[in-house]
Amino acid sequence: MIKTLFLTSRPQFLLLSLSVALLGSAIALYQGAEWSTSLFVLISFGAVLSHAAVNMLNEYQDFHSGLDKVTLRTPFSGGSGALPSNPQAAPLVFKTLIGVLGLLVILGGYFISLKGWALLPLGLVGLLVILSYTSKITRWPWVCLIAPGLAFGPLMVLGTYFVWTGTFSALALALSLVPFFLVNNLLLLNQVPDLQADRTVGRLNILMKVGLKRGLLIFVSFMLLAFVSLFVTSIAFKLPDLVWLGLLGILLGLPMTKIVLQSGENVDKLMPALGMNVIITLLTPMLIAAGLFFG
């Protein structure tokens, strides 16, 4: 039971929330925030909890919709397979999910009491994304396209920055565009192996709406926009030279793009690109954060 519960949080992917929280923290410290180990731990804990919550709810709802029975599971998509392997754990997963959401509300309330009510709208939108992603957002193509990036980009980066400083900043907003585009792409490419299965439960993502060829062109555009936004922000805000480390993702991005455009729906050919996509999405915010910390 405990193992199944743990797997439904998709622990191998939770590093993404830590990476983005690190970026938001680095921006705040670069702009004058005072370091606090306890605050950093609480921020990171909240980021991981929110990520785990959306994963667990997705696993629970996909299990009950029957999607898990027809999904082509890969190391990067299709869920963990934990609940189909242990169906009796479903009630425990749901109860734990309620507890995790409760912890998030308590933690959010603490941050609001610490820094101010301006954080509340970000928290409410984030909670709405968690609760509606699987059941609602996956049926609205354009919203589904940008909701993941909104959650891990502007919402998480600006929320992290605000908890450190009690304010918002143009730099935090500008740099949040990097995870915005990259995380959108992470989910977009992961939808390719799931296309046939997702149709059976009534999902309608952007690949279904505009077709695979046009959808993959959106993927390429988002990858370029992620690195262009980093380049422009670095110049506009005169960021330290070490921030340019974030552009190293291009070295993987170019061959990834070639694989994506040549593979189509062939999952076997697409697998290397799925792995490259994960690496780029995880490492780029970390490299930018490192550039701000040490630059």
Flag whether the pTM goes above 0.85: yes
**Rounded distance, CA 150 to CA 142, Å?**
12
pLDDT at 198: 86
Residue pLDDT, tens place only, 163-183: 999 999 999 999 999 999 999
* Residue 20's pLDDT band (cuts 50, 70, 90): very high
253: its two tokens: 């991005």
284: its two tokens: 């780029």
State the DSSP string of 32-90.
TPPP-HHHHHHHHHHHHHHHHHHHHHHHHHHHHHTHHHH----SSSS---HHHH-GGGH
How much of the chain exceeds pLDDT 70, in percent?
A: 100
In the chain, the amino acid numbered 292 is L
Question: What average pLDDT does range 185-194 have in this prediction?
Answer: 94
Checking if the pLDDT of 78 tops 80, the result is: no
pLDDT at 222: 98
How much of the chain exceeds pLDDT 90, in percent?
A: 82
**Rounded distance, CA 126 to CA 142, Å?**
18
**Rounded distance, CA 115 to CA 110, Å?**
9
Sequence spans of domains, the chain: 2-294
The answer to whether the CB of 280 falls within 8 A of the CB of 252 is yes
Chain centre distance of CA 114: 26
Checking if the pLDDT of 77 tops 80, the result is: no
Give the Å distances, CA to CA, from 234 to 154, 180, 240.
17, 17, 8
Place of tokens 């996909």: 62
**Rounded distance, CA 179 to CA 23, Å?**
9
208: its two tokens: 């279904």
Question: What average pLDDT does range 246-256 have in this prediction?
Answer: 94
